[in-house]
Chains A and B, each alone.
Chain A
């Protein structure tokens, strides 16, 4: 039956998870939540998300593109200057 074995418990006896890894996962989730909340009302461009959230633009790019890879975010239209895409929350 799938999921019946728990070999991860044996690995836990051999390895410890580093505090840095836990911290970076927490940070990813913090930024992910900010981006979800920013896009909750309307589609936005990366600079718009950065301006309103205070996050760095390159941080928004990395997280938003990763979220798009996993289906949490979708591409919307382009801005009037044909420079930046708008992004919206995924329909799933």
Chain B
């Protein structure tokens, strides 16, 4: 990092520290470029760090993701800011971009904190744990999750009762309530947008009664129930702690649905649901699993075989869209659906329902640059004006897109896309930036 005219200078700014952002940063860093990686969350890693296993190989997601996180964190050419965002990015006359890096306070001295969790033990506050998708509570002084990077505590100031217990308990004197928002001017030559995606919020579909019926959960809540650092002691119903034995998956929840404004396929829901069905059968060998689908889209390498394997394991596939979910006194759920194969309206009883929620665009890139120069497509993703010839290019010269910031895609495609974005950004820098 060089400092000129008060600006910290880097070759490339990578916005987002998920799997795509890390891959792009590592590629750029390994080519010798100085990289500034800005992540808005308290930890690097994005959504992949929250997953149990990946399809179709059933490799442990954290076992793949954490070495990459560590490599990114230790890379000599990559400077990382977590809990931070970029604002007022604008192009200068020479083609560089200048902007302000805003680092929000975590009220912990990141260099002093040892991650011992004494503050967490001392904190008396309990609020819903967003990293466990609200299935359990967490403290207001907390390490976000066990494999967080940096593995450093943070104080959730909005939920803090200012009792000072964390400060008294900290053996490293790392708690610092005097911290304030820091703003640093930054100049970069090129930008890679890797802001990832949002998950569809199923409360929008009122007839599914998500949140009202406690045993209707999202696929991310099930994903958390399947990881070693799970919120419960087994896969259980949040409504009453019962071990479910008849689980339904509803594919395309929030995807391929014109009425919800998201007519496109999320690319991953069929396969992650099939993967979860296999994992559920591993955790609960006596359980029945039924997958309600419109079409099974098993299009990638090894996907069709993985789907067939799930079929052979006894998972039932029902072609039909579920219209409504109602609750019974005992917490069981009644699904009303159209069986497309027989064109009949049917009802089925399950004791737990998983909504396979789709991927939506993260709208953050819309406001990344001043002047609205960055084109966004009709679904809210960063537009790729030359998707076939130059897939990482955007409407702005010198600005590239990686991973699900451009469209829904799975993990291998996100990593490939990030590689392409790094290659295009490096080519742009080698050519001498703007023509």
Q: A residues within 8 Å of B by Cβ?
A: 2-12, 15, 17, 21-22, 24-25, 28, 45-47, 50, 57-58, 60-66, 68-70, 75, 78, 82-85
The interface residues of chain A, by DSSP majority, are classed as helix
Q: Give 5 nearest A-B pairs by CB, closest first.
A: A46-B241, A66-B137, A8-B164, A11-B177, A57-B240
List B residues 233-283 near A (Cβ within 8 Å): 233-234, 236-243
List B residues 127-169 near A (Cβ within 8 Å): 127, 135-137, 157, 159-164, 167-169
* B243 in complex: contacting residue of A24, A65, A83, CB < 8 Å: A83
* A62 in complex: contacting residue of B162, B164, B238, CB < 8 Å: B238
The bracket for how many chain B residues form the interface is 35 or more
* Chain A CB within 8 A of B126 CB: yes
- Complex interface: chain A residues within 8 A of B242 (CB): 46, 83-84
The answer to whether A58 touches B239 (Cβ under 8 A) is yes
Say whether, besides A7-B175, A65-B232, A21 and B126 are in contact (CB < 8 Å).
no
Name 10 A/B residue pairs within 8 A (Cβ), A-sorted: A3-B173, A6-B167, A15-B162, A25-B126, A28-B137, A50-B240, A58-B214, A62-B136, A62-B238, A84-B243
The answer to whether A62 touches B177 (Cβ under 8 A) is no
- Complex interface: chain B residues within 8 A of A2 (CB): 170-173
The answer to whether A65 touches B135 (Cβ under 8 A) is yes
The answer to whether B239 touches A3 (Cβ under 8 A) is no
Closest B residue to A74 by beta carbon equals B233
- Complex interface: chain B residues within 8 A of A83 (CB): 242-243
Q: B residues within 8 Å of A by Cβ?
A: 121, 124-127, 135-137, 157, 159-164, 167-173, 175-178, 214, 231-234, 236-243, 286, 331
Apart from the given pairs A8-B167, A47-B240, 6 other A-B contacts in the complex at a CB distance below 8 Å: A21-B125, A22-B161, A28-B137, A75-B233, A84-B242, A85-B241
The answer to whether B169 touches A3 (Cβ under 8 A) is yes
The answer to whether A21 touches B233 (Cβ under 8 A) is no
B168 → chain A closest CB, angstroms: 4
- Complex interface: chain B residues within 8 A of A60 (CB): 241
- Complex interface: chain A residues within 8 A of B161 (CB): 17, 21-22, 25
> Could you tell me the distance between the alpha carbons of A12 and B124 in the complex, rounded to whole angstroms?
17
- Complex interface: chain A residues within 8 A of B124 (CB): 25
The answer to whether B178 touches A7 (Cβ under 8 A) is yes
The answer to whether B241 touches A57 (Cβ under 8 A) is yes
> Could you tell me the distance between the alpha carbons of A6 and B125 in the complex, rounded to whole angstroms?
19
The answer to whether B136 touches A65 (Cβ under 8 A) is yes
The answer to whether A5 touches B173 (Cβ under 8 A) is yes
The answer to whether A3 touches B170 (Cβ under 8 A) is yes
> Could you tell me the distance between the alpha carbons of A17 and B158 in the complex, rounded to whole angstroms?
8
> Could you tell me the distance between the alpha carbons of A84 and B351 in the complex, rounded to whole angstroms?
13
* B241 in complex: contacting residue of A9, A10, A15, A64, CB < 8 Å: A64
The answer to whether A61 touches B177 (Cβ under 8 A) is no
- Complex interface: chain B residues within 8 A of A25 (CB): 124-126, 161
Closest B residue to A58 by beta carbon equals B214
The answer to whether B167 touches A61 (Cβ under 8 A) is no
> Could you tell me the distance between the alpha carbons of A67 and B164 in the complex, rounded to whole angstroms?
22
> Could you tell me the distance between the alpha carbons of A46 and B169 in the complex, rounded to whole angstroms?
33
The answer to whether A66 touches B126 (Cβ under 8 A) is yes
